[in-house]
Structure 1
């Protein structure tokens, strides 16, 4: 394997990647605005903090169902059309929530149902990257998308707060609809048509279940998936307990974590040589848990934010697994494989939040966060085999 890493010039020289990059930034920023606006809208109508929080999380819940039953669509339909369909669905949903006068239950149901297809739309985009950018350029592209995701979430929340103050929830939702319209146009005229990767198979659900079973049965693929899911599950669990631990100041620590993730993805993706990056996967995965151990000493806001940032920065360990993952999965089901990776990651974070939150009820918040850090370290060590680079 060449030790020369790709550069930003290499990646952005490809027009199709520039299109994907721009549309992805619009997607993440728009989704952050949408979920914030929906949460505020639900709270304004009901006065219920619980329903408001449920509205904020509603966009993520369908990932497990879409990942289990619909992911084969990512390989059975042309990728450009799928991504455009995702933007159109988001546009329609936002306009309905903003101006149709729907009751709260109908808005939540609309977000849940439309969210079932989110893993499919994302899988189509991720599976296209190795076709556009082979080798280390693909890994750097994934790094850039990770940086963009963290940055756009922070920017989207700030933008959403400003728009909400000026126009209210309806205006913020209309803004998101506009961003989706722009992204759809950019995708339509910026990406060339590509045929479906694998048009075979009978029945979407049947094919999805069959391919998921096949991927899970492959020891190499299964190990890589678990390596990408489990350490992050405990990181998400620790982050979820920051809110009861820090109260209103939790936003500072969560923003620091997003910044830490962006910096880690940027540095490891751009400045670490490919071979070294793969060798760092195991130590970085184990390091995810180390900062959380410091919560046993009940740190204040500043130290807690620094520890959260350090842990999130170590999520860049996943970049060392990306090349191997692309090589391990069959090309004709690559879309579903990437979708399964994302769906499992989202589901694992929800499970981690529930587990560590439940533990906090018994032990207290700072102890639960410290235990979560210890479990993250143990998980990384237990997954040492897939986290280590393969011998030539």
Structure 2
């Protein structure tokens, strides 16, 4: 157990039916799904528009990954506003901003470099909007329902990635890239209207004093100074981020295997594994079992990638990648622990810091993987990324194996828990 941890009993296992029975969650989930659809189409369409305007593969690639760097910048400068502003206003405001940007991109009045600059600048607040959305989730769902709500968000992300390449490609072929960009505009407006008129107005958490940038830096330092928070952040960041480096060379791997069209299958396999992991682990495992299996599932992220050292064909490679993607469900075993470890007044910023670290490290890992692919065979790079993820999971084993609760020690305790007496960690500092 980590220092200062109180032995608690696991809450009753929830079901997805119970989660989606909460109307406010359905509203938030639908808005998030619309956001994902719009972002997937935008990335594909912008990449096509930039390539058509410049003929540059580099600029096209930058367009496709244009969300990483702005997110990291917003996460280090503006996260304090995730707690200072009401979450509904933040989400609606960002949806409207995305809609305006989509209109400008769709009508084609800007050259390609200006398009990239516009997407970069307007993407900086994305970290604040994402943090506000994630921090609102535990206000809507309690106990194990919160963990399943996180799993449902993960499944939405995985499902969107599974369908995104195929559907986005069909849309662009049918209505061209500029026409597809109007779909992003529509999804933004639908999401904004849904959140504004169907989601209850939750108050801001207040956050801390000082300017937004100063408060962001101060709270980030405070969160990272907490050993429990820091260890849980590292446990969420490192194993999956190091695994993502392998994705940077999946296209070269498919080309070297003589099946360049198989690259889409490989990316889809990872997303399908993520989708299955969130579904199976979230639905079939009891809360205490999820926490107990967090460490083995984290090892599963990197271990299958070692098989690429044996030069597998695309079918075997897809299976290995799907198993690796399944391992991302280990984060469900950390969800409640992280929520309980951070102060409620800065919960939005804490979730934003977790998301910012994820986006930043995954972007850097993919870039490093691509750079290694210039001097090493793709299979060697993928195996190295798997080994790095495996080593990180082993190094974080103490954090991954600690649990929030143990089984009740007496019949009286068990009866109390069945009556709904779920005890949390004692409040921390600023709670």
TM-score range, shorter chain: over 0.9
- Residues 85 and 204 of structure 2 are in contact (CA less than 8 Å); yes or no, is this contact kept in structure 1? yes
Q: Which residue of 2 aligns with 1:285?
A: 298
Query: What CA distance in whole angstroms lies between the structure 1 residues aligned with 2:168 and 2:281?
Result: 30
Which structure has greater helix proportion? 1
Query: What CA distance in whole angstroms lies between the structure 2 residues aligned with 1:110 and 1:26?
Result: 22
Note if 1:150 corresponds to 2:158. Answer: yes
Query: What CA distance in whole angstroms lies between the structure 2 residues aligned with 1:308 and 1:159?
Result: 22
Q: Which residue of 2 aligns with 1:40?
A: 48
Of 117, 126, 134 in structure 2, the residue corresponding to residue 118 of structure 1 is: 126
- Residues 292 and 403 of structure 2 are in contact (CA less than 8 Å); yes or no, is this contact kept in structure 1? no
Q: Which residue of 1 aligns with 2:379?
A: 366
Q: Compute the displacement of 1:360 (Å).
A: 2.9
Q: Which residue of 1 aligns with 2:389?
A: 376
Q: Which residue of 1 aligns with 2:144?
A: 136
- CA displacement, residues 74-126 of structure 1 (integer Å, 9 cap, x when unaligned): 00000000000111011001000111511111110011011111111000010
Q: Which residue of 1 aligns with 2:224?
A: 216
- Residues 83 and 121 of structure 1 are in contact (CA less than 8 Å); yes or no, is this contact kept in structure 2? yes
- Residues 16 and 132 of structure 1 are in contact (CA less than 8 Å); yes or no, is this contact kept in structure 2? yes
Q: Which residue of 2 aligns with 1:15?
A: 23
Query: For structure 1, which runs of at least 5 residues remain unmatched after alignment?
Result: none
Note if 1:304 corresponds to 2:310. Answer: no
- CA displacement, residues 55-77 of structure 1 (integer Å, 9 cap, x when unaligned): 11112221111111111110000
Of 111, 121, 127 in structure 2, the residue corresponding to residue 103 of structure 1 is: 111
Note if 1:345 corresponds to 2:345. Answer: no
- Residues 238 and 389 of structure 2 are in contact (CA less than 8 Å); yes or no, is this contact kept in structure 1? yes
Q: Compute the displacement of 1:390 (Å).
A: 3.2
Of 24, 28, 33 in structure 1, the residue corresponding to residue 32 of structure 2 is: 24
Q: What secondary structure, in the 3-state scheme, does the structure 2 residue paired with 1:62 have?
A: helix
Q: Compute the displacement of 1:199 (Å).
A: 4.9
Of 322, 325, 328 in structure 1, the residue corresponding to residue 338 of structure 2 is: 325
Note if 1:355 corresponds to 2:368. Answer: yes
Note if 1:236 corresponds to 2:249. Answer: no
- CA displacement, residues 121-170 of structure 1 (integer Å, 9 cap, x when unaligned): 00001000111101110000000000001112333333322221121111
Note if 1:272 corresponds to 2:285. Answer: yes
Q: Which residue of 2 aligns with 1:313?
A: 326
Q: Compute the displacement of 1:237 (Å).
A: 0.5
Q: What secondary structure, in the 3-state scheme, does the structure 2 residue paired with 1:362 have?
A: coil
Q: Compute the displacement of 1:4 (Å).
A: 2.9
- Residues 207 and 346 of structure 2 are in contact (CA less than 8 Å); yes or no, is this contact kept in structure 1? no
Q: Which residue of 1 aligns with 2:429?
A: none
Q: Compute the displacement of 1:3 (Å).
A: 5.7
Q: Compute the displacement of 1:53 (Å).
A: 1.0
Query: For structure 2, which runs of at least 5 residues remain unmatched after alignment?
Result: 1-8, 406-431
Query: What CA distance in whole angstroms lies between the structure 2 residues aligned with 1:245 and 1:147?
Result: 27
Query: What CA distance in whole angstroms lies between the structure 1 residues aligned with 2:379 and 2:99?
Result: 41
Q: Compute the displacement of 1:341 (Å).
A: 0.6
Q: Which residue of 2 aligns with 1:207?
A: 215
- Residues 3 and 273 of structure 1 are in contact (CA less than 8 Å); yes or no, is this contact kept in structure 2? no
Query: What CA distance in whole angstroms lies between the structure 2 residues aligned with 1:358 and 1:35?
Result: 22
Of 173, 178, 190 in structure 1, the residue corresponding to residue 186 of structure 2 is: 178
Of 160, 163, 174 in structure 1, the residue corresponding to residue 168 of structure 2 is: 160
Note if 1:252 corresponds to 2:252. Answer: no
Q: Compute the displacement of 1:364 (Å).
A: 2.0
Q: Which residue of 2 aligns with 1:84?
A: 92
Q: CA RMSD in A?
A: 1.2
Query: What CA distance in whole angstroms lies between the structure 2 residues aligned with 1:280 and 1:229?
Result: 18
- Residues 80 and 207 of structure 2 are in contact (CA less than 8 Å); yes or no, is this contact kept in structure 1? no
Moved more, 161-170 or 261-270: 161-170
State TM-score, norm by structure 2. Answer: 0.89
Of 221, 225, 231 in structure 1, the residue corresponding to residue 233 of structure 2 is: 225
- Residues 290 and 377 of structure 1 are in contact (CA less than 8 Å); yes or no, is this contact kept in structure 2? yes
Query: What CA distance in whole angstroms lies between the structure 1 residues aligned with 2:224 and 2:43?
Result: 32
Query: What CA distance in whole angstroms lies between the structure 1 residues aligned with 2:367 and 2:31?
Result: 32
Query: What CA distance in whole angstroms lies between the structure 2 residues aligned with 1:380 and 1:157?
Result: 30
Q: Which residue of 2 aligns with 1:71?
A: 79
Moved more, 286-295 or 355-364: 355-364
Q: Which residue of 1 aligns with 2:199?
A: 191
Query: What CA distance in whole angstroms lies between the structure 2 residues aligned with 1:153 and 1:289?
Result: 20
